[in-house]
Every structure is written in structure tokens, then in C-alpha cells.
């Protein structure tokens, strides 16, 4: 079984995290599969929307910390994360997400790029960037304040506060809270509704609401530079080591 499961439901491209034994932590290979699927959907007339799904109680725990540790200790960074972030920031098709359980790091900031987000009551969101010695990514430093307001974005992205589904709903990051057993069906139904709309009108309307993507793309580059530097910082290395030691101890 692949760590990212790709499937189709009618005109909806489904991308499912499928690495539950590691809380769906995202490896470089997984980023690339997702980037290719989102970019592929963009040029496929048979696909009207993309749906991101996880596993019961686990959307994703974010970037694989072993991959971060590898970079911190000298490995090359690789381009896969960047490909994924660019794909979600510039996706030509609407993105819909269903979040059950934990959504950490990029699992949370990805939601800022989604057009519709559904969460179960047991969903929780957290971005421990600063505690890991890192900085916000995925253009969240731009889109977060824009969507959530400055103080709420700061609470989520810098303070690293853990938000419940209810808090995310109040903040406008989630459209609706849906019981776990109905969550995927609801998200799929909404993705299908989007996918059945006249594609040109949908694309134009979405473009109007989302506005110019260049600012997000520029912010991705700016954050990405800092992020790469921070991965090699003592603060980050120590935080990654603490996580590994906790897990092996």
C-alpha cells in the first residue's frame, strides 16, 4: 500500500494520507505524489475538484521529523516540499479537505489553501513551528493573518496554540463540524457539487475570490529560504533530537 492513496470518485480526485503507523507524517516522496496529483488534476478536464482525506483520528502530523533531522544534519533539502506547496498555492481546481483528529504543521497550514474544510468534533490543529526552532510555512504567514485576523493567526502560527475544531470553526478556517462517521461523505458530497459546476465559471469565480496568487508564491519563496536556514539551526536540531529521544526512550 502506498503512503498516499490516489483514487477517483466521479469528477473528484481523492488524495488520502495513508501512513497511519506514523500518524501520516509526510515524507519527501509523499509530497511529490501529492504535488503531481494536484498538478495533474489542474490540467485534467475530467477532474473538477480535489479532496484531501486522512485516516480515522489522523489527518496528518505534518512533515516527517526524520526528514527534517536529516537536513539538520547535512542531507540536501530536496525540492518535493516546495513542489507540493506550490501545487496547493496555485491549484487550478478547488481543494476540499476533511479533517478528523490531528492536523499538525503543514497538515494545518494546507487548510489555508483549501476552498472548503470540514472537520470532525475530535479534530485538532496545531503548528509548533517556533517550538521546533522553525518559522511558519506554506504562505501561512500571509494567508493566516488575512483569513483569521492578525491576533488569531499569531496565536495559531507563532504561539503554537492547539485549536479545537470548534475554535477553527469560529476562526473561519473550517466550514462545518461533522460527526466522524459522516465526515468523508459530507466532504465528498461538497467536492462533487463543486465538480459538477460549469468548469469555466467555477475557475473564474474561484480566481476572483482567491485573488492574485503571486503574493502567496512570493511568500512561499521568502518563508522557504528562512525555513531552510532554520532547519540547520541549533534550536531546530535540539528540538528534533528531543522528539527522537522521546520516541526511542
Interacting residues with ligand COA (CB under 6 A) = 22-23, 25, 61-66, 102, 104-105, 128-129, 132, 247
* Cβ distance to ligand COA smaller for residue 185 or 242: 242
The distance of closest approach from Cβ of residue 60 to ligand COA in the complex, given in angstroms and rounded to an integer, is 8
Does residue 230 contact residue 236 with C-beta atoms inside 8 Å? yes
Burial string for 137-147 (b: 16+ CB within 10 Å, else e) reads bbbbbbbbeee
* Cβ distance to ligand COA smaller for residue 25 or 174: 25
Whole-angstrom distance, CA of residue 178 vs CA of residue 168: 13
**Which cell goes with 77?**
533539502
* Cβ distance to ligand COA smaller for residue 84 or 175: 84
Angle at the Cα of 168 from the Cα atoms of 167 and 174, rounded to 5 degrees: 140
The distance of closest approach from Cβ of residue 204 to ligand COA in the complex, given in angstroms and rounded to an integer, is 35
* Cβ distance to ligand COA smaller for residue 104 or 112: 104
3-state secondary structure 22-41: HCCCECHHHHHHHHHHHHHH
Report which residue's Cβ sits closest to ligand COA. Answer: 105
Whole-angstrom distance, CA of residue 172 vs CA of residue 121: 15
H or E stretch at 124: strand 124-126
* Cβ distance to ligand COA smaller for residue 26 or 47: 26
Nearest residue to 130 (alpha-carbon basis) of 166, 99, 155, 163: 155
The distance of closest approach from Cβ of residue 65 to ligand COA in the complex, given in angstroms and rounded to an integer, is 4
The distance of closest approach from Cβ of residue 26 to ligand COA in the complex, given in angstroms and rounded to an integer, is 8
* Cβ distance to ligand COA smaller for residue 118 or 129: 129
CA contacts within 13 A on the Cβ side of 195: 25
Angle at the Cα of 215 from the Cα atoms of 53 and 134, rounded to 5 degrees: 65
- Lookup result for grid cell 474561484: 206
The distance of closest approach from Cβ of residue 98 to ligand COA in the complex, given in angstroms and rounded to an integer, is 18
The distance of closest approach from Cβ of residue 105 to ligand COA in the complex, given in angstroms and rounded to an integer, is 3
What length does the chain have? 249
* Cβ distance to ligand COA smaller for residue 21 or 212: 21
The distance of closest approach from Cβ of residue 22 to ligand COA in the complex, given in angstroms and rounded to an integer, is 4
Amino acid at each position: 500500500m502506498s503512503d498516499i492513496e490516489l483514487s477517483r470518485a466521479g469528477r473528484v480526485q481523492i488524495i488520502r494520507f495513508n501512513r497511519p503507523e506514523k500518524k501520516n507524517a509526510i515524507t519527501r516522496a509523499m509530497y511529490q505524489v501529492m504535488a503531481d496529483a494536484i498538478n495533474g488534476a489542474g490540467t485534467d478536464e475530467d477532474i473538477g475538484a480535489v479532496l484531501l482525506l486522512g485516516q480515522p483520528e489522523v489527518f496528518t502530523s505534518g512533515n516527517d521529523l526524520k526528514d527534517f533531522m536529516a537536513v539538520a544534519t547535512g542531507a540536501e533539502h530536496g525540492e518535493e516540499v516546495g513542489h507540493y506547496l506550490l501545487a496547493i498555492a496555485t491549484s487550478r481546481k478547488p481543494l476540499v479537505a476533511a479533517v478528523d483528529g490531528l492536523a499538525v504543521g503543514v497538515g494545518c497550514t494546507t487548510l489555508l489553501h483549501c476552498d472548503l474544510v470540514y472537520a470532525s468534533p475530535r479534530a485538532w490543529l496545531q503548528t509548533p513551528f517556533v517550538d521546533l526552532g522553525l518559522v511558519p510555512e506554506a504562505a501561512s504567514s500571509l494567508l493566516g493573518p488575512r483569513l483569521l485576523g492578525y491576533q488569531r493567526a499569531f496565536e495559531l502560527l507563532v504561539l503554537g496554540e492547539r485549536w479545537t475544531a470548534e475554535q477553527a470553526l469560529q476562526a473561519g478556517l473550517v466550514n462545518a463540524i461533522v460527526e466522524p462517521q459522516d465526515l468523508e461523505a459530507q466532504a465528498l458530497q461538497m467536492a462533487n457539487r463543486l465538480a459538477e459546476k460549469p468548469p469555466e465559471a467555477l475557475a473564474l469565480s474561484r480566481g476572483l475570490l482567491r485573488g492574485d496568487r503571486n503574493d502567496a508564491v512570493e511568500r512561499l519563496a521568502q518563508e522557504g529560504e528562512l525555513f531552510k536556514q532554520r532547519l540547520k539551526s541549533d534550536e531546530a536540531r535540539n528540538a528534533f533530537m528531543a522528539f527522537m529521544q522521546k520516541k526511542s526512550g
